[in-house]
Amino acid sequence: MELQNSRILITGGSLGIGKETAKCLVDAGALVGITGRNAERLQIAADYSGAFPIVADITKPEDIERTYQEFLAHADGLDVLINNAGLGAFPTLLDATLEQYEHIFRTNVFGPALMAQKAAAIFIEQQKGAIINIGSTASLRGFERGGIYAASKFALRAMTESWQHELRKHSIRVMQVNPSEVATAFNSDERIERTAADNKLRSQEIAYMIKSILELDDRAMIPEFSVWATNPWKQ
């Protein structure tokens, strides 16, 4: 697709992967909207990236409704949804609480599902569009203390595959990106971004790949791919 003047909505654009992706796509000429829960953080990201901010919590259906109202009022249409907002909780099986399961699934699974449902209605009508789900290598394998987070990302992957079956016949591309560990504010309560060592992934690597798969001609789609650090063990 042509990114110039395309209309792209990114959830969780105030930090990390979402923020860098917004910048990368704005630099390529797209009109980008970003969401996040904290107005101040979101405005700083909007100033940095050139995207426009929509303060919204993806766990709240009424916020999702308003996200689309504000985005469509501003952009007059939608070409791409990037389901990026997400967080983790990493208790052991014995320590995990129902509240943790519910909160992570509301953020990583139910929110993206409701966002995609609204995007799909628009895309089916126009017989084109793209949905990118930001999964994780935790979408592909479980690990110790991964019972909640990996389960949520497995669920996201299952939705990606199912939506591919439903939407491909409408010329809609549904794609999933599975980053390995990226230096961001992920899972930090202080919401402070980490600095990447030379051998660790930065948000920029993921943003570049997202831009690349969107830029493919519409006749082609990459269903899913992972991004690894080449040598994360290097001292």
Ligand X SMILES: NC(=O)c1ccc[n+]([C@@H]2O[C@H](COP(=O)([O-])OP(=O)(O)OC[C@H]3O[C@@H](n4cnc5c(N)ncnc54)[C@H](OP(=O)(O)O)[C@@H]3O)[C@@H](O)[C@H]2O)c1
> Using the rule CB under 6 A, is 41 a contact of ligand X?
yes
202: left (phi over 0), alpha (psi -120 to 50) or beta: beta
> Which residue's entry shows tokens 């797209």?
30
Query: With contact defined as beta carbons under 8 Å apart, do 224 and 160 qualify?
Result: yes
How many C-beta atoms lie closer than 10 Å to residue 123's C-beta?
Answer: 24
Interface with ligand X (CB under 6 A), residue from 23, 30, 31, 36: 36
Instruction: Give catalytic status of residue 208 as yes or no.
Output: no
Query: With contact defined as beta carbons under 8 Å apart, do 69 and 44 qualify?
Result: no
> Using the rule CB under 6 A, is 112 a contact of ligand X?
no
Q: Which tokens belong to 82?
A: 């990037």
Tell me the closest approach of the beta carbon of residue 160 to ligand X, in angstroms.
13
> Using the rule CB under 6 A, is 64 a contact of ligand X?
no
Interface with ligand X (CB under 6 A), residue from 86, 130, 147, 174: 86
Interface with ligand X (CB under 6 A), residue from 25, 30, 51, 58: 58
> Using the rule CB under 6 A, is 157 a contact of ligand X?
no
| Options 48, 68, 101, 149, the catalytic residue | 149
Tell me the closest approach of the beta carbon of residue 21 to ligand X, in angstroms.
9
Tell me the closest approach of the beta carbon of residue 61 to ligand X, in angstroms.
12
Interface with ligand X (CB under 6 A), residue from 9, 24, 35, 210: 35
Tell me the closest approach of the beta carbon of residue 221 to ligand X, in angstroms.
20
Contacts of 162-167 spanning 24+ positions with Cβ under 8 A: 163/116, 163/120, 163/131, 164/223, 166/120, 167/120, 167/123, 167/124, 167/131
Q: Which tokens belong to 150?
A: 């990996």
Separation between Cα atoms, residue 52 and residue 75, nearest integer Å = 10
Tell me the closest approach of the beta carbon of residue 174 to ligand X, in angstroms.
16
**Integer CA distances (angstroms), 174 to 102, 164, 213, 221, in order:** 25, 5, 11, 8
Closest CB to ligand X among residues 94, 222 = 222
- Residues 172-231 binding ligand X (CB under 6 A) are 179, 181-182, 184-186, 191
Residues that bind ligand X (CB under 6 A): 11-18, 35-38, 41, 57-59, 84-87, 107, 134, 136, 179, 181-182, 184-186, 191
**Residues taking part in catalysis:** 149
